[in-house]
Structure 1
Amino acid sequence: MAPADVGSFRPSSRPARRSVLLGTAGAVAAFGALGGRAAAATPSGSTPTPLTPPEERTGPRAQAWIRRVVARMSVEEKVGQLLVTHVYGAAADSADARNTAEYGVATPAEVVAKYHLGGVCYFTWSGNVGPLPGVAALSNGLQAAATGTGAGLPLLISTDQEQGTIARIGPPATQFPGNMALGAGRDAAAAREAAAITGAELAALGINHDYAPDADVNVDPGNPVIGVRSFGSDPGLVAELAAAQVLGYQRDGGVAATAKHFPGHGDTKVDSHTGIPEIRHTRQQWESLDAPPFRAVIEAGIDSIMTGHLVFPALDPSGDPATLSRPIVTGLLREELGFTGLVVTDALGMKGVRDKYGDDQVVILAINAGVDMLLRPPAFDLAHRSLLAAVRSGRISRHRLDEAVGRIIRLKLANGIVHHPAVDVSAVADTVGTPAHLDRADRITEATTTVVRNAAGLLPARVDRRRLLVAGAGGSAVQYLAGALADRGAETRTLSTGTRPTDAAIAGAVAAADDADLTVVLTSKAWDTDVTDPQARQRLLVEKLLGTGRPIVVVAVADPYDLAYADRAPACVAVYAPNAVTMRALARVLCGEVGPRGRLPVEIPAADGSGVLYPYGHGLTW
């Protein structure tokens, strides 16, 4: 393919930058050079000459326009497009000392302009997420900085809004219980609607690229990093729901979706944030276990795929992680699976990609492997300089550079970001966290609650004018559930004991349970946290409460595998996330207002390794 030839890019068939299903607020008029109006010069220097994009966002005219844009870009502008990073602060023009320390300039807008960034990723810890109209205003300010300098290209503004345990944008934005809960619900239409609502709300905030859905098949109950982020352990179920979410995010919600973590992160006991996972599947096992979801999302027209920092010897025996592997990224993903969209790395500060090569080399190797965008390289200025030097020396060819940049621009054009980079700040509340969205979240979530044990018909329970103890891990979850039960007339007492309860906390819970008509105890990844705890504190809490002989309900509020350690409990429930929408649904199920409909999307092995305690698909109702 000739440099900047975009003829092989998969066109998008969906209307871009708006919500067809949910009516998200329309973007305000485009601004900046590519929208046909010269923007004010930024601190980095030049004002770009306007280059009006075609009305058509895909097709021959769009491809020709992209080629013209790439041809007029400088090397510095092209290299900038490859990079996505975080910026510090809630306003584009507000100085933050952390920006100065990391990037040498003070404001988020100056960071964007200095490096001609292709994208920015939002986090709470970087100060980007506060009152939601402010998030939209930040997005507009960053887009103004991007379109007002250099090539004048707008940003891909991204975040990790998988929902459930990974949700960067919290309330009042609508929350959902996450992928494994949707797997328990077994409803592709519900999975699509959850993605549509999530996507529409992100789009209203100016976030046009979501790093979701997770397409990993969680076949290892001991997986420390995926777990409930996966739809389940069955490749067919994961494929069906991941493809449904692609349609929800992209066609209905108006944001680019990203399937992760290719070629599959579901069968590992190593977290790639802290180590280098090695997947020992054969090629045949990869084809049957890991590949189906990625094939399905590609068929659904997904915009981008994220690589995993994991070694997969059957796919590449070199020992390089997939992010740096040309056989995996180009040979497998591009040539065999036929993916023509954007490939983005997982965060490059993770140990799984940094151990074998230096930070200055990782970015070069990833681009030469076939990756298009580099997410959050550490030592950012070093990464930027290394890329520039590699292009100028020929180590990264101009063909490879133009190919990657062309794909990035194609996505921005096809999704309407080039035409309409800004959003209407005054209209955020018309879309984000609306009563209609919150009601749909409640209805979708209650269909995911999974009851796996109900000895002697303990559930549903009468709670009105009864004394209830809500205890265990997850302080917010404890409070959410207690509040929902109090709304139903219960006299509730709470005791948040954390993931490693002390002897005093356990004794306090036992005493309180002796005085309660019903105790609900929440566990959070007890199977994992207790591995490094010789006294297995969460399990000990459950055992001591069961020893009272009082009615006890054990609820796993994260991984359902915790329930292997509660098989003597009268009642066991899995809810997959500790957020408020999940606790409200749990309260409705516990009180009998709705029947439980969730079915396990994974099997729960017995704690002693003797076999399967609760099989895949198990779930009780009344």
Structure 2
Amino acid sequence: MPVIRRRSFLRAVAATGAVVLIAPRAAADEDEGAEWVAARLAGMTLEQKVGQLFVVQVYGADAHTVTAAQRTSNRAAYGVDTPADVVEKYHLGGVIYFAWAGNVDRPEQIAQLSNALQQSATASGGPPLLISADQETGIVARMPAPATQFPGAQALAAAQSTNAAREAARITARELRAVGINQNFAPVADVNVNAENPVIGVRSFSSDPTMAADYVTAQVAGYQAGEGVAAAAKHFPGHGDTTTDSHYGVPEIDHTRQEWETIDAPPFRAAIEAGIDVIMTAHIVVDSLDPTGVPATLSEPIITGLLRDELGFDGLVITDALNMEGVRAGFGPARVPVLALLAGVDQLLVPKDGDMDVMYQAVLQAVRDGEISEDRLEQSVERVLELKWKRGITGDEQVDVDRVARTVGVRAHQIASQRITDPTVTALRNTDPTGAAILPVAPTSSVNVVTTNTAAGNDLAAALRAQGGTATVQAVGTRPSDAAIAAAVQAAPAHDLTVVITSNAWDIVTTDPQGRQRRLVAELAATGDPVVAVAARNAYDVAYLPETAGFLAAYSSTTVSMRSVAKVLTGAIAPEGRLPVVIPAADGTVLYPIGHGLTW
């Protein structure tokens, strides 16, 4: 008897409209799901099918209100006035929320926006929306206060607890679902083996593939189990070894096929084995995987040949944002979506403002002309619908706005967040010029917080004051001026401790090209007064700072991380974090290995 693939079977049902008995699957609700998908597909026009392939950003905090700014932004991007109009015009499969698009002001507002957009999607008979966000936590987070903060991937790995990472994802998922967000573009599955990576860094769990895979697995379970938020592993085939940011250029990864198998593949394999719903592509060129030089997002050998056929992933594949230069360079907006679909991608994320009409019409025309077969189109639409069924996004998708405050940022979540964050702080150095230990200091100490990140500095100072100490804040920016450095040096003798919060002091290309942060720490250390640097982003900063300054890696600038740092500074807790990445010295040798960390 010939084997009939389920997708081919569903397409036959949709095409004929026949009432058939669907073969039993692993669970009873999967039978219902297959019927729901087939019925939905059968009732869709070509325009509606193509619309399901797009996930776009919309402008505004309310689905129907037309403010001047909202009208201008939506008009420029889509030719209509409101977020609801955008959803209805294109029969969208999904939307994504951003702060810069005005979508996320407060939790109740987000819930109201989600409810109204879902009503817009279903009003004309279409399926509900996938509503997504990049809530990786740490440096990439979209949910505003009072939503629960976590310090991000690398910090979680530094705490050496996959259970804690799973709990962080579970709490995040619960709060997302409470406001109507049913898809999270996390976790990051990239293995950050390049200390000069400008776009991944602390968003990656580790430079060790096995460690990264373990934490990806934990977070997939946390997001998808229980609350049922669809997770997305990103950025396939692996964005961890590049010095180019794909937002602004086209990164080229020179890994051999064997290096890819050893370094980049394990977290994605683990995600697939864990049942990941979605995998996001990377706008990177990997010659060993596809010698044509096209970005992975547009590469049939990478998306279909490698991800689908070799790794066996049959879930939904979505592009990284199509407004990024990494995929736009060399390709016009009319070709990018068509090439992505031909490569094997299912959904197209965030066209550049003004490109949506061109992209939508280009896909329609490619189907009408036969460049994209209807069979190929329906493969992707089926995957979109199947994900919606799997995550319960099938009917009247309305969240209870009155219950949002009883879920988002509740005390139990905040307590869990602090408990999870406290063990992440990693101490790498703790001696002054005489060799004596700098930390801990007394809780009543006077501390001058010299900070490249004003919010983080204020949070740290507030936490120190809450412990009974005194703290002043000197905000100097990421490129401190001579005057700011001189003022910090002059203030040092008046305090028991100077804490310098650094932000990518290693980055001599964009963040700190003149080494101003490094000079700041060096001149403070030269005074002989106690100085501790706290990396509020990449721990790689330690390789560029003098050994006569103490050093703590916080991996994030979140309020919860600064509270943990304050506890370590004053001895309320001992540092428990261990490096999840290798820290190279300037000559390329290993300065600190994975697992390094001091305590007291």
Match of 1:554, SS? strand
Distance 2:10 2:29 in 1: 10
Match of 2:506, SS? helix
The answer for the alignment partner of 1:51 in structure 2 is none
The answer for the alignment partner of 1:582 in structure 2 is 561
The answer for the alignment partner of 1:511 in structure 2 is 490
Alignment of 1:120-519 (within 5 A): 120-149=95-124, 151-378=125-352, 379-455=355-431, 456-464=436-444, 466-519=445-498
CA distances 1:335-364 after superposition (whole Å, capped 9, x unpaired): 111111110000001010011211110000
Distance 2:532 2:427 in 1: 10
Aligned length: 572
Q: CA offset at residue 63 of structure 1?
A: 1.2
For 2:560, give the aligned amino acid. Answer: V
Query: Taking every aligned residue pair, what percent have the same amino acid on both sides?
Result: 54
Distance 1:534 1:147 in 2: 51
Q: CA offset at residue 170 of structure 1?
A: 2.2
The answer for the alignment partner of 2:57 in structure 1 is 86
1:75 partnered with 2:32: no
For 1:249, give the aligned amino acid. Answer: Y
The answer for the alignment partner of 1:615 in structure 2 is 593
Match of 1:167, SS? coil
Match of 1:328, SS? helix
For 2:296, give the aligned amino acid. Answer: A
1:132 touches 1:205 (CA, 8 Å); kept in 2?
A: yes
For 2:403, give the aligned amino acid. Answer: A
Q: CA offset at residue 591 of structure 1?
A: 1.1
The answer for the alignment partner of 2:33 in structure 1 is 62
CA distances 1:136-193 after superposition (whole Å, capped 9, x unpaired): 00000000000111x4200000010000000011210000000000111111100000
1:554 touches 1:569 (CA, 8 Å); kept in 2?
A: no
Distance 1:459 1:384 in 2: 59
Match of 1:245, SS? helix
For 2:345, give the aligned amino acid. Answer: V
1:264 touches 1:308 (CA, 8 Å); kept in 2?
A: yes
Q: CA offset at residue 610 of structure 1?
A: 5.5
Residue among 101, 111, 114 paired with 2:89 = 114
Instruction: Decide whether aligned partners of structure 1 residues 405 and 499 sit closer, same or farther in structure 2, where only a CA change above 3 A counts.
Output: same
The answer for the alignment partner of 2:21 in structure 1 is none
Tell me whether 153-162 or 101-110 shows the greater mean CA deviation.
101-110
2:178 touches 2:407 (CA, 8 Å); kept in 1?
A: yes
Distance 1:341 1:420 in 2: 24
Q: CA offset at residue 3 of structure 1?
A: 9.6
Distance 2:105 2:284 in 1: 34
Distance 2:28 2:336 in 1: 33
CA distances 1:45-98 after superposition (whole Å, capped 9, x unpaired): xxxxxxxxxxx8842332133122212210000000000001111111112221
Match of 1:266, SS? coil
Instruction: Decide whether aligned partners of structure 1 residues 100 and 480 sit closer, same or farther in structure 2, where only a CA change above 3 A counts.
Output: same
1:259 touches 1:306 (CA, 8 Å); kept in 2?
A: yes
1:499 touches 1:529 (CA, 8 Å); kept in 2?
A: no
The answer for the alignment partner of 2:527 in structure 1 is 548
Distance 2:172 2:588 in 1: 41
Q: CA offset at residue 541 of structure 1?
A: 0.6
1:181 touches 1:448 (CA, 8 Å); kept in 2?
A: yes
Alignment of 1:523-562 (within 5 A): 523-529=502-508, 535-562=514-541
Match of 2:251, SS? coil
The answer for the alignment partner of 2:18 in structure 1 is none
Q: CA offset at residue 304 of structure 1?
A: 0.2
For 1:304, give the aligned amino acid. Answer: V
Match of 1:568, SS? coil
For 1:504, give the aligned amino acid. Answer: A
Distance 1:6 1:134 in 2: 42
Distance 1:398 1:72 in 2: 15
Distance 1:154 1:430 in 2: 25
For 2:387, give the aligned amino acid. Answer: L
Q: CA offset at residue 377 of structure 1?
A: 1.4
2:505 touches 2:512 (CA, 8 Å); kept in 1?
A: no
Q: CA offset at residue 570 of structure 1?
A: 3.7
Q: CA offset at residue 4 of structure 1?
A: 5.3
1:569 partnered with 2:543: no
Q: CA offset at residue 102 of structure 1?
A: 1.6
CA distances 1:184-217 after superposition (whole Å, capped 9, x unpaired): 1111100000000001000001000000000000
2:521 touches 2:546 (CA, 8 Å); kept in 1?
A: no
Q: CA offset at residue 472 of structure 1?
A: 2.2
1:104 partnered with 2:84: no
Distance 2:415 2:423 in 1: 13
Alignment of 1:23-34 (within 5 A): none
Match of 1:59, SS? helix
For 1:472, give the aligned amino acid. Answer: T
1:235 touches 1:288 (CA, 8 Å); kept in 2?
A: yes
Distance 1:62 1:373 in 2: 20
Distance 1:322 1:460 in 2: 48
Match of 1:457, SS? coil
Distance 2:404 2:549 in 1: 46
2:425 touches 2:553 (CA, 8 Å); kept in 1?
A: yes
Match of 1:389, SS? helix
1:3 touches 1:398 (CA, 8 Å); kept in 2?
A: no
For 1:253, give the aligned amino acid. Answer: E
The answer for the alignment partner of 1:49 in structure 2 is none
The answer for the alignment partner of 1:14 in structure 2 is none
Distance 2:6 2:123 in 1: 26
Distance 1:584 1:513 in 2: 22
Distance 1:180 1:62 in 2: 37
For 2:292, give the aligned amino acid. Answer: S
1:57 touches 1:414 (CA, 8 Å); kept in 2?
A: no
Unaligned segments of structure 2, at least 5 residues:
12-26
Distance 1:360 1:615 in 2: 47
1:309 touches 1:323 (CA, 8 Å); kept in 2?
A: yes
Superposition RMSD on alpha carbons, in Å?
1.5
Instruction: Decide whether aligned partners of structure 1 residues 214 and 7 sit closer, same or farther in structure 2, where only a CA change above 3 A counts.
Output: farther
For 2:594, give the aligned amino acid. Answer: Y
Match of 1:146, SS? helix
1:344 touches 1:375 (CA, 8 Å); kept in 2?
A: yes
For 2:75, give the aligned amino acid. Answer: T
Distance 1:255 1:102 in 2: 28
1:122 touches 1:158 (CA, 8 Å); kept in 2?
A: yes
CA distances 1:223-260 after superposition (whole Å, capped 9, x unpaired): 00000000010000000000100000000332000000
For 1:74, give the aligned amino acid. Answer: T
Distance 1:255 1:532 in 2: 35
